Structure 1
Amino acid sequence: MSRNIEVGVFIPVGKNGWIHSVNTPYTPGSFQHVLDVVQRSEALGFDFVLSPAIWRGRKGPSRHWMDSLESLTTTAALLQATSRIEIFGTVHMTVFPPATIAKMIATLDQIGAGRVGLNLVTGSSYLDLAHLGLWNDELNHDERYDMADEWVHLVKRLWTEEIVDHKGRFFATEAATMGPKPSRMPKLVNAGASPRGIKFAADNCDIAFISASDGPKFIATARQCKEAARAMGKPNLKTFGLVTVIPGETDAEAQARLDHFNAGVDRECLADIAAGYEQNRSAKALSEASLSLTGGEKQSCVMPGELVGSYETLARRLSVTALEGELDGLMLVVPDYIEDLAAIANRTLPLMERYGVSSLRSR
């Protein structure tokens, strides 16, 4: 069994990235740092980078995400500063009108033709958006996706049709025009893991992101996502796994790094994340994958399913994740986005070919 996959980076546009600890490696949430990370990622051969949409920092001593960049303006700057790598920004469809984003993405395609993509989210954390007046409590979980279906439908029409008349449940246009059109249809991705979220991705997107690892539960979820897409008549939907990787020269050294991060775990930060989901009146409809990121009772400062080990160990475990999960790509989270990304690209990804997985340097 063999597989050719894309590999990308979940870039740290927020302070401390995705490690909820006072012992996090240098990750300031500054543009200069992100620019350095992305230009290095391109030079190392990574296929894409994706930035999240961050509207609120977390309580707690680590000041997690208290400094952060806006995703689409960052995408514009990164497209100008690169030449090959794909750049995905993120938007909350509940915050931005479809015509606004259609125009912005068409403009970004002028900056980096054919390289801009869009990660579409509806928002699950009340606290992340409500403090700025951006939370819409009128829609429940499934209704948010009903709105999202119409949102994407209208955006795609604006990208492809000369005149758009639309009158729907949520949006309306009258003889709308928009030009120039994108040089190609921008890739759309979504990370909704609930049944309704997977349906949205299958109906509207090119890629579904899921939390991934080499454990049986994660593998089963990845396969279920593929099977659900096939059952919906969408066999071409790609699935990319989001994986936290903690590398070291040896398995023991990698584990010692994680132990150090966990020694400084910011429990107040984790509790604050959990509270954001709990105050969503549709919390019961959220996927287990979404809720697992909140911390809750767990003591770990990283997202569940982390892969910890030497560069050789990680090659084997990432290969198992991709092969058994039938994944088309991986998006990596690492502690140190300068040193660790270079080491993974140079020392782990080439070794994956031994296990039948080709990517980056092995292609």
Structure 2
Amino acid sequence: MSSVSHTGERRRRLHLNAFLMEAGHHEAAWRLPHSDPRADFDLRHWIELARLAESAKFDSLFLADGPALNGTGEFRPPGQLEPLTLLTVLSQATSRIGLIATVSSTYNEPYNLARRLASVDHVSGGRAGWNIVTSAGADEAANFGLVDRPDHALRYARADEFLQVAKALWDSWESEAVVADKATGRYADPARLHRLDHRGTHFSVAGPLNVERPPQGYPLLVQAGSSEDGKEFAARHAEAIFTAHRTYERAAAFYADIKARTRAAGRDPDGVIVLPGIVPYIGSTVAEARALAKEFDDLRVPEYGLRQLASIFETEPSVFELDAPLPDFVLARPKLEGSQSRSDLIIELAVREKLTVRQIISRLGGGRGHFEFVGTPEQVADTIIAWFEGGAADGFNIMAPALPSGLAAFVEHVLPILRDKGLFREEYEGTTLREHYGLPVPANQFHRSDG
């Protein structure tokens, strides 16, 4: 999180996460001449990306996920490999970079997921992270036998209890539990293996876990929701936050809010790393960068954008007119069970810039509402530094519009500028994800100091 300069002054270090998504984050990335439209299931593609990010000394890489088909599949690759399985493979193709996966708390059980995450942390040597989501989509609920998704507040209440149980399961093995005394035949000390006997509103779990405590204590705990429930959950539990803001002012307000909430929850605000997303279109000149962005935009299919917009606002595509503003009922901000914070972001963008629906879906094509920046490497770096030093971010989610080309351009042209300014590491200083983010191993709630 910080380093000591030659003057003895402690300086914050920028954190960078490579957010990886098939052929790229732009919805039309798979259509580019140099793109692989089947990248989503090409293991060589994922290994290449992971090694590229690790060679650049990124803190971590991140895989999004949802337990349902992404759209209809008509205009964009709709599937994806299960992320913990993929991260297990990538852990063996890399040695230092952190490995973060999105996994839903709504459609899993604490014991199984705690076991899987602990296993990934073990096989990766302490590099696992969990992006905790509550799954906003009705189509996801239908895949698990539900007529509709649980309501927003219930999903977060379940997630809160889920995480409490998961932490207790990871703590259920004390570090001194394994004796492995061949002479006496005594393998473990049963007094240091702890039953939970948890009986709560949502879960009943006996424990202990049948996997030793993870090398990091807990996998790094990440959260990505910006609703009121999401921010309160993050203040209690998150160690890193992935967030979406299209303006510095909005990002700075969120940053100040989440740090204040964390402090109010009795936690150290410096122990919560805030990482907005940035989609950089990089050119050697501004004209070249604009031409690159236009190449992507020209490949979009408006029908796909309309469907995505309708999904966010939980309505039908037919209610939108491409060359008209958002309908009044949308601008009235009805309460949504899905992504309320993302819908609010889109409305703010539309109103602030007086956009038509056609213009809105163009703006969303590259990063689904994340900050898109078109410019030279120097301009990209200056923007990152301004947000970082101005109190709007602790680092960034780098969301390349095309992969691997966009990530390679960032690594080759932007990172050297950040390094020249002493803001990003030259080499890894630790081996675990927590060490990269400057975060401690959590204390074991069951630990006793006596022998």
Give the match for residue 302 of structure 1: 366
Deviation at 1:268, TM superposition (A): 2.3
1:226 is paired with a residue whose SS is helix
Unaligned runs of 5+ in 2: 1-9, 173-193, 316-333, 351-355, 429-451
1:58 paired residue among 71, 94, 119: 71
Moved more, 334-343 or 255-264: 334-343
Unaligned runs of 5+ in 1: none
Alignment of 1:263-282 (within 5 A): 263-279=298-314
Give the match for residue 151 of structure 1: 162
Separation (CA, whole Å) in 2 of partners of 1:87 and 1:336: 20
Alignment of 1:1-363 (within 5 A): 3-12=12-21, 14=22, 16-21=23-28, 23-24=31-32, 26=35, 28-30=39-41, 31-54=43-66, 55-59=68-72, 61-62=74-75, 64-127=76-139, 129-130=140-141, 132-133=143-144, 137=148, 139-161=150-172, 162-184=194-216, 185-212=218-245, 215-234=248-267, 235=269, 236-279=271-314, 283=336, 286-289=339-342, 292=345, 297=357, 298=360, 299-300=362-363, 301-303=365-367, 304=369, 305-352=371-418, 358-361=423-426
Separation (CA, whole Å) in 1 of partners of 2:147 and 2:165: 20
Identity %: 25
Deviation at 1:284, TM superposition (A): 6.1
Alpha-carbon displacement from aligned partner over 1:125-158 (angstroms, at most 9, x marks no partner): 223x145336673621111110000000000100
Alpha-carbon displacement from aligned partner over 1:9-28 (angstroms, at most 9, x marks no partner): 0011x4x4321227456252
Deviation at 1:206, TM superposition (A): 1.0
Deviation at 1:341, TM superposition (A): 1.9
Letter in structure 2 aligned against 1:56? L
CA contact (8 A) 2:381 2:414 kept: yes
Separation (CA, whole Å) in 1 of partners of 2:93 and 2:220: 20
Separation (CA, whole Å) in 2 of partners of 1:138 and 1:214: 31
CA contact (8 A) 1:2 1:323 kept: no
Evaluate the alpha carbon distance shift between residue 226 and residue 136 of structure 1 in structure 2; reply closer, same or farther with a 3 A threshold.
farther
Moved more, 309-318 or 288-297: 288-297
Count matched residues: 358
CA contact (8 A) 1:141 1:286 kept: no
Give the match for residue 175 of structure 2: none
CA contact (8 A) 2:62 2:101 kept: yes
Deviation at 1:2, TM superposition (A): 5.7
Evaluate the alpha carbon distance shift between residue 107 and residue 177 of structure 1 in structure 2; reply closer, same or farther with a 3 A threshold.
closer
Deviation at 1:274, TM superposition (A): 3.1
Deviation at 1:323, TM superposition (A): 1.9
Moved more, 83-92 or 135-144: 135-144
Separation (CA, whole Å) in 1 of partners of 2:265 and 2:223: 16
Separation (CA, whole Å) in 2 of partners of 1:137 and 1:131: 7
Moved more, 21-30 or 316-325: 21-30
1:306 is paired with a residue whose SS is strand
Deviation at 1:122, TM superposition (A): 0.4
Evaluate the alpha carbon distance shift between residue 348 and residue 275 of structure 1 in structure 2; reply closer, same or farther with a 3 A threshold.
same
1:36 is paired with a residue whose SS is helix
Give the match for residue 320 of structure 2: none
Separation (CA, whole Å) in 2 of partners of 1:238 and 1:123: 22
CA contact (8 A) 2:60 2:98 kept: yes
CA contact (8 A) 1:29 1:69 kept: yes
CA contact (8 A) 2:70 2:79 kept: yes
Evaluate the alpha carbon distance shift between residue 136 and residue 220 of structure 1 in structure 2; reply closer, same or farther with a 3 A threshold.
farther
TM-score scaled to structure 2, two decimals? 0.72
Separation (CA, whole Å) in 2 of partners of 1:150 and 1:102: 13
Alpha-carbon displacement from aligned partner over 1:260-289 (angstroms, at most 9, x marks no partner): 211222322223323333449961674333
CA contact (8 A) 2:136 2:149 kept: no
TM-score scaled to structure 1, two decimals? 0.89
Deviation at 1:56, TM superposition (A): 1.2
CA contact (8 A) 1:9 1:46 kept: yes
CA contact (8 A) 2:251 2:392 kept: no
1:308 is paired with a residue whose SS is strand
CA contact (8 A) 2:24 2:402 kept: no
Letter in structure 2 aligned against 1:142? A
